[in-house]
Amino acid sequence: MRSVLGAALFALLAASLAACSGHSSSAPVHPLGCPVAYIAPGLDAYTVFRSGAAPSTNTGDIVFGVKLMSVQAACHNEPQGVRVTTLLTFLAVRNDDNLRQGDFTYFVAISDAQQNILAKQNFALRVDFAPRQKEMRVFDEITEHLPLKDISLGSRYAVIVGLQVSKQQLDLNRQRE
């Protein structure tokens, strides 16, 4: 499993989340609140075009593409907080039989109720295509720890997932919507 929050990000989150939770450790147990997980608008597709081809909606110019199909989060109590496990499903497609591998990067971010990004981390994935394979589903799982004294406050946060794309690709994704 991958851990989204490194030591530095953990410290940042701990400080900001502790401020939201003024309960002592002897406070009564609260129901578990789970952050919502969603795909960032416009950041659900990544496309690699043939050399010399201008980015367009013409599928004949596409060599490799990835679509972020879904994100599903589940939560569990942990000492001093909430553990959020998020399963991501990607669809990778190739149009060029000579392409054997495709690389892409996605991000996972944690935001608060005001949509301020508290932590963000990028993850790189590589897919290996079999000789006649045109598409494949790729799964990845990440785990975040939200350091909350009151676990019912977990629902005030969000797990945001998206593909790392250029400005040009973002504009193209928005045209496709």
* Cβ-proximal residues to 69 (8 Å cutoff; 6+ apart), any chain: 89, 90, 91, 137
Is the pLDDT at 108 greater than 70? The verdict is yes
**What's the whole-number mean pLDDT along residues 35-64?**
85
Share the mean pLDDT of the chain: 83
Helices marked H in the chain: 7-20, 167-176
Has residue 69 got a pLDDT over 60? yes
- The stretch 28-52 carries a mean pLDDT of 87
In this prediction the pTM is 0.79
* Extents of the domains making up the chain: 2-20+34-176
Exposed/middle/buried for residue 121 (C-beta within 10 Å: 0-12, 13-18, 19+): middle
Range ranked top by mean pLDDT from 29-43, 52-66, 152-166? 152-166
> What mean pLDDT is predicted for residues 113-124?
93
In the chain, % of residues over pLDDT 90: 58
| Bridging pattern class, strands 36-39 and 158-163 | parallel
Confidence at residue 49, expressed as pLDDT on a 0 to 100 scale:
86
Say which range, 58-67, 80-89, 90-99, has the weakest mean pLDDT.
Answer: 58-67
Count other C-beta atoms under 10 Å from residue 55's C-beta: 16
